[in-house]
Structure 1
């Protein structure tokens, strides 16, 4: 098994583990990272962008260093490709969250279908940070569909893209950035300046995964033309450069309206409506969004691994040509 094959095999195995088992039930590495980051924030917090930038660099740097230490089975390190595939699989399983996303979305949908709005409100914070106390059933359903769309990019596609391109460091680094954004990247009074660096870094890291998610949602959704139309018309109006394309594409693909007035921790936001010609979200649309998310995730696995293998093959060929040129320049065989 070559190193590039080991990376692909590991990512596929990790994706399968997430699909079959969901998140690890005990000792979840992402939860451990979150606890460590929270403890470090209490020590490093200052109401200043520079302090937040240093905090972000330390946390993400630690994740990248850990990924580098246990990462890909590169030949010059003398590591077994089989062992490397196993490490990559474990990292991918820990980082991917598609099955947990689907499980929580279905749980809220089941509560709404049973007419238990209070239970649906109680389960909603497991999906997003929105304040559910005053949401009616259609608003809860809309929140679930929006969360499924955005987290398909954050918890599945983005991780697959960075894992395929950069192996274990890419997987761990992306998840660290995304976790920090969820912790300190929001516009609360405490984190408006301190969390600025984490939020901007998440915008950069999430860019390729968000665009791939939007493309795949358009390709595999019930209404491809509607997805493209909503993406082009409305994505740029969303305050997030990455959530905008994803949510707009999902909205157009499913034929529903997303966006509008939202409440986060007592802070009210009035966001633009995405796919205004669409209808109001219904409870049944949660299941449709989940199916679309599953299709996008599976196709993203194939696309990312194929692209990553192609990039590594091109680099290998380039290195080989460079070696030949070096031999010729030194008077090697003619």
Structure 2
């Protein structure tokens, strides 16, 4: 069996493990340890320059690579770094109070998914934020770890997770991070570029009757989004659900005129369940694809071995 075949099975196993194993408390989670280490590094080495940010990002990537080497197992690295089940759990925590009209409780739960200003969001705005987060973060937290597990084994998974975590910490527009976080943000864009496009294919597999609409929305709308990857994922989910996502939003005191993605009414509380179900089906489509890739590799190996041993 080739390396790709072995990794395909390992990644599929890791995705299944993260579905059944309990999520460790934050204080014991390796990603939390990494985040704490990078906070300390920032406190010591921060400067408002891109060069300093590049060094910070490279140091974080190196720590991620060392962690992958220590873990050793691709399946275990994926199980630790992937978070599809946790993502859907966080969405449900917002959905539950929103369904009964408790906007205050829904706003309190929302920061576990998004960083936007939630103080003035109505029920539809909260629902849209959750659906958009499910779309974007399934790329970051499921498809990308799987892709980098295939490409680089355990180290590929953990380096990606380090980059993604640094982007969440410093890779956003603000006076403090405009320069310092530039490298982390660009690395994250690059690391998720292919996974975001694979996500579109997986969504079409998970919802084949909406494949044409998904393709059209991604082609027409995704390029309007400021992120090269979030727009792709959000346009695909918007088209699948038949809802309109995007639109103006605020991060702190900063206003962003985000494009509107997809056609249809704005999301409502009930659409969060449909989005959760879509992400679950998409994740299963990925697992099935990985198993089929392993099987195809295994069969090709058998055929090749048979040809070598056949009498001449």
In structure 2, the residue matched to 1:119 is 105
Structure-1 separation of matches of 2:4 and 2:205: 28
Bigger Rg, structure 1 or 2: 1
Conservation of the 8 A alpha-carbon contact between 2:81 and 2:145: yes
Find 1:236's aligned residue among 223, 229, 244.
Answer: 223
Conservation of the 8 A alpha-carbon contact between 2:6 and 2:294: no
- Compute the displacement of 1:22 (Å): 4.5
In structure 2, the residue matched to 1:249 is 236
Find 1:281's aligned residue among 267, 284, 303.
Answer: 267
SS of the residue corresponding to residue 16 of structure 2 reads helix
Residues 295-334 of structure 1 correspond to what in structure 2 (within 5 A)? 295-304=281-290
In structure 1, the residue matched to 2:213 is 226
Find 2:88's aligned residue among 86, 90, 102.
Answer: 102
Structure-2 separation of matches of 1:63 and 1:308: 27
Q: Verify: 1:37 aligned to 2:38, yes or no.
A: yes
Find 1:91's aligned residue among 71, 77, 93.
Answer: 77
Conservation of the 8 A alpha-carbon contact between 1:4 and 1:309: no
* CA offsets 1:34-63 (integer angstroms, 9 cap, x no match): 010111011111110000001100110121
- Compute the displacement of 1:94 (Å): 1.1
Conservation of the 8 A alpha-carbon contact between 2:69 and 2:155: yes
In structure 1, the residue matched to 2:69 is 68
Structure-2 separation of matches of 1:141 and 1:101: 15
In structure 2, the residue matched to 1:51 is 52
Conservation of the 8 A alpha-carbon contact between 1:164 and 1:309: no
**Structure 1 residues 109 and 70, CA gap change in structure 2 (3 angstroms):** closer
Residues 134-283 of structure 1 correspond to what in structure 2 (within 5 A)? 134-221=120-207, 223-275=210-262, 277-283=263-269
In structure 2, the residue matched to 1:20 is 20
- Compute the displacement of 1:68 (Å): 3.0
Higher normalized contact order (CA 8 Å, seq sep 6+, divided by chain length): 2
Conservation of the 8 A alpha-carbon contact between 2:91 and 2:130: yes
Structure-2 separation of matches of 1:116 and 1:20: 31
Q: CA RMSD in A?
A: 2.3
> Which sections of structure 1, spanning at least 5 residues, go unmatched?
72-86, 315-334
The two structures have a TM-score, normalised by structure 2, of 0.89
- Compute the displacement of 1:310 (Å): 7.4
In structure 2, the residue matched to 1:325 is none
> Which sections of structure 2, spanning at least 5 residues, go unmatched?
301-312
Structure-1 separation of matches of 2:217 and 2:5: 38
Structure-2 separation of matches of 1:307 and 1:43: 46
**Structure 1 residues 47 and 172, CA gap change in structure 2 (3 angstroms):** same
